[in-house]
Amino acid sequence: MKAHYDFESADVRRNPYAAQLNQRVQLHVPRSALAFFESVATAQGITVEAVMQLYLREAAASGRQLQWPEAAPAGESRKRA
């Protein structure tokens, strides 16, 4: 290995796939869900963001579908949790 490398003359190119890797989104997360992710993150020694990403990636990879509650009868609105 060389003792010094000259990066000033290097051919610098941006990663053409970088935009496809991640996309920043903003979510409103219930406090109870956030507390759950924080406890998992603390136990694993990683960030809350990393825990959320792992859960989302696993759900997407397994094709997991959400179980929605039955629709309210006509004229009634759903109660917010």
Task: Give residue-wise pLDDT tens across range 21-72.
Answer: 888 899 999 999 999 999 999 999 999 999 999 999 999 999 988 888 776 6
Higher pLDDT: 3 or 53? It is: 53
Q: Which residues contact 38 (CB under 8 A, 6 or more apart)?
A: 48
- Are the beta carbons of 79 and 70 closer than 8 angstroms? no
- Measured from the Cβ of residue 51, the count of other Cβ atoms closer than 10 Å reads 19
* Strand spans (E) along the chain: none
How far apart are alpha carbons 29 and 10 in whole angstroms? 44
Residue 76 has pLDDT above 80, yes or no: no
Residues 9-32, mean pLDDT to the nearest whole number: 86
- Please tell me the predicted confidence (pLDDT) of residue 36: 97
Q: Which pLDDT belongs to residue 69? A: 79
